[in-house]
Amino acid sequence: MELRGAQERECGATGRGPDWPAIVERIRSNDPSGMEELYRIFCKGIRYFLFRRIGPQDLDDRIHDVFLIVSQAIQRGDLRDPERLAGYVRTIVRRQVAAQIDRNVRSRQCRPVEGDIKLSTNEPSPERTLIERQNVELAMRILNSLKRRDRDVLIRFYLNEESQAQICREMGLTETQFRLIKSRAKARFGELGKSRLALERTPTRDQKATSHALRRSA
């Protein structure tokens, strides 16, 4: 397997296997060098494995999602035996591939059959315009709640469409640091978005009282 081959090549280059307990300990203590070393050992193998199975689309993001999942699992204590870190990484990659294949299948099943009538309008409805404006406002609030460096990377890369090379040069980041920051920031943005949406959809006490009064008067 490609991922196992990457590990074996690393062992051959250094004359010994990676010090998995040391790497795990550094990741647990939020030492960036731990993730950087793990990335160096596995990145090429993961890239090749994912490319062959699910194609090139968003490949960098998929790779760094894997490392984000691994780092979070280590910090939560899900990996009890550090010597099994290499196998754990391989397991996460396989799960990511399986999940993507499942999403692809579901997407194809949900596509309209040829000949279906698609109704559309050039002008968005007032309700849709309001929803979109609220979504933008929510996104900006979430962005502003992120750490400054995380926020800057997301804004510059996704909104300003600056290149990775430009961002790294101007922010003093290595390629690995940039990708880890971007992946972590995206995950945090998604988590905050879900929690904010859930909070805003939960009716307050006053809203519940008003709703109850309206039902009684109906």
Kindly list the structural domains of the chain, giving each domain's residue range(s) and its CATH number in brackets, ordered by start.
Answer: 2-108 (1.10.1740.10), 126-204 (1.10.10.10)
Rounded to 10°, the helix 20-28/59-76 angle is 90
Instruction: Round to whole Å and give the CA distance between 71 and 30.
Output: 9
Instruction: Round to whole Å and give the CA distance between 140 and 198.
Output: 17
Instruction: Round to whole Å and give the CA distance between 68 and 161.
Output: 23
- Centre a 10 Å sphere on the Cβ of residue 37 and count the other Cβ atoms it contains: 19
For every one of its 218 residues, what pLDDT tens digit does the chain have, with 9 covering 90 and above?
455 554 555 444 445 678 999 999 999 998 989 988 998 998 888 988 888 887 787 788 888 888 888 988 898 888 889 999 999 999 888 888 887 777 766 665 565 554 444 444 455 566 666 666 666 667 777 878 888 898 888 888 877 778 889 999 999 999 889 988 888 888 888 888 777 767 665 555 554 554 454 344 44
